[in-house]
Amino acid sequence: MKRRGFLQGLAGVTVVVVGGTVWRSADQGVFSAGNGPAYEPWSDWRAASESGPLALVRAGILAANPHNTQPWIFRVDEDAVELYADRTRNLGTFDPYLREMHLGLGCAVENMMRAARANGYSAELAFSEGTLGPIDSQPEQARVARIALSEVGPTEDALHDAIPRRHTNRGPYDSQRPVSSAALSSLAAMADDDDGVGIMMFTENQAIAACWQLIVEATEAIIADEPMVTDSERWFRHSWEEVQAHRDGPTLDAAGLSPVMTAIAKVMPRSSAETNHRYWLDATRDVQVATAPAFGLIGVQDLYDRAQTLGAGRIWQRMHLWATTQGLAMQPLNQPVERVDRERELGFEPKAARALGRLVGEADWQPTFVFRVGYPSRGASPSPRRSAEQVLV
């Protein structure tokens, strides 16, 4: 359905459901954005009554992660926290080598390292080495990182304090307000070349147009790929009950729609996977890339190296936390790299990899994460989280 048709359809439904609106609104949580047990981890992450290594887990679960799958399991000892990848929470054809899963785990590591220092520990991090492979070849639970702790006394950290305020912002950004070159340089300086991770920013018109095209074409390819649509839709939570029961997945509240459109979408019956993904393409093209004043890439030397992927995830989380302290909004738009994985899985011509290679212009540097940054036109809502207790072994 075209956007215009969708809006007209919505207008019709608004009139029809007037009598039932109040009941249905409550049922769908129209007025309850960010409330309920699924959102409590955002407010109780720093329980005053508690100290010790569990604080790392409470920070870790608030990290960015692909499709809000929260693919993590934590083991806590007196002097260490271990992080495991939970293969069962995979995205199938959207992430056939668990590359994005490991980026998300890297994001959790960054939050945990910040929480360690803020809670009085010196922290020594060790990543598991190895190469990422097809989902079925991976163990159901695999240790990816160990953080050894020793008590030294707390350190103040503005990025740690920003953890509960960081949310992916999928709404419009102020396209007339450029991000200063000082801010862009600060973001770009967050990668550590020694870990095999680098950052590239794009602000010139020509490069912005190239990013725009790359992201829109990749989104079009995804919505034409039925297994990808099905695997993505599996995680989407439409109703209030679904959000509170699963406490994961993308939600309408976090989709970046205006408050009115969010309320309308909530009282409508759930659309088909195909229609939902058509809206996603429209929003990507007409709102997200159309209003972005700058794009960026995080790259690695080896796209399927486990430690480099975890390191790239750490960098994304750090950049997003810093952006939060500056009033900047950020959003991953990782469709081009998702297509790189998918074309590889299917043995297709590597069109997406070539297009990304042309943008980057450096053969020994492979993008693993694409994002936009800018000043937000409206705030972002939190996404649901399973509690720390639910993800401990």
- In the numeric block, the tokens 């007025």 are attached to 31
Q: Which residues pair with 131 in a beta bridge?
A: 305
Q: Which is nearer to ligand FMN, 266 or 339 (CB)?
A: 339
Q: Name the residue nearer to ligand FMN (CB basis): 24 or 234.
A: 234
Residues with Cβ within 8 Å of residue 202, at least 6 apart in sequence = 208, 210, 211, 294, 295, 296, 297, 359
| Number of residues binding to ligand FMN, judged by CB under 6 A | 20
Size of the chain, expressed as the number of residues it contains: 393
State the CB neighbour count (10 A cutoff) for residue 63.
26
**73 bridge partner residues:** 84
Footprint (CB under 6 A) of ligand FMN, residues 88-107: 100, 103-104, 107
List the x/- string, 268-307, binding to ligand FMN by CB under 6 A. Answer: ----------------------------------------
Cβ pair 82, 53 in contact under 8 A? no
Binding-residue pattern over the window 156 to 175 for ligand FMN, x denoting contact by CB under 6 A: -----------xx-x-----
Does 332 sit near ligand FMN (CB under 6 A)?
yes
Cβ distance 342 to 350 under 8 Å?
A: no
Backbone angles phi, psi at 173, to 5 degrees: -105, 165
- Measured from the CB atom, is 65 or 90 closer to ligand FMN? 65
CA distance 219 to 215: 6
Q: Does 67 engage in binding with ligand FMN (CB under 6 A)?
A: yes
C-beta atoms surrounding 387 within 10 Å: 16
Instruction: Report in angstroms how near the CB of residue 385 gets to ligand FMN at its nearest.
Output: 8
**Contact set for ligand FMN, span 364-383 (CB under 6 A):** 383
What is the dihedral sign for C-alpha 40, 46, 48, 51? positive
Shortest distance in whole angstroms from residue 317 CB to ligand FMN: 8
* One of 250, 296, 299, 367 touching ligand FMN (CB under 6 A): 250
Closer Cβ to ligand FMN, 144 or 254, answer by number: 254
Phi and psi dihedrals of 141, rounded to 5? -130, 125
Tell whether residue 111 is a contact of ligand FMN (CB under 6 A): no
Q: How far is the CB of 252 from ligand FMN (least distance, A)?
A: 13
Residue labelled with tokens 């602000």: 203
**C-beta of residue 177 within 8 angstroms of C-beta of residue 293:** yes
Give kind and range of the element (H or E) at residue 325: helix 306-325
CB of 99: closest distance to ligand FMN in angstroms? 8
For the CB of residue 279, give the shortest distance to ligand FMN in the complex, in Å: 13
169 to 93, 236, 255, 280, 374: CA distances (angstroms): 25, 17, 8, 14, 10
Q: Which is nearer to ligand FMN, 19 or 379 (CB)?
A: 379
Q: Which of 329, 335, 341, 353: binder of ligand FMN (CB under 6 A)?
A: 335
**Which tokens belong to 137?**
């070849």
Give the nearest distance from C-beta 105 to ligand FMN in angstroms: 9
Site string for ligand FMN, 124-143 (x = CB under 6 A): --------------------
Q: Which residues bind ligand FMN (CB under 6 A)?
A: 64-68, 100, 103-104, 107, 167-168, 170, 250, 254, 331-335, 383
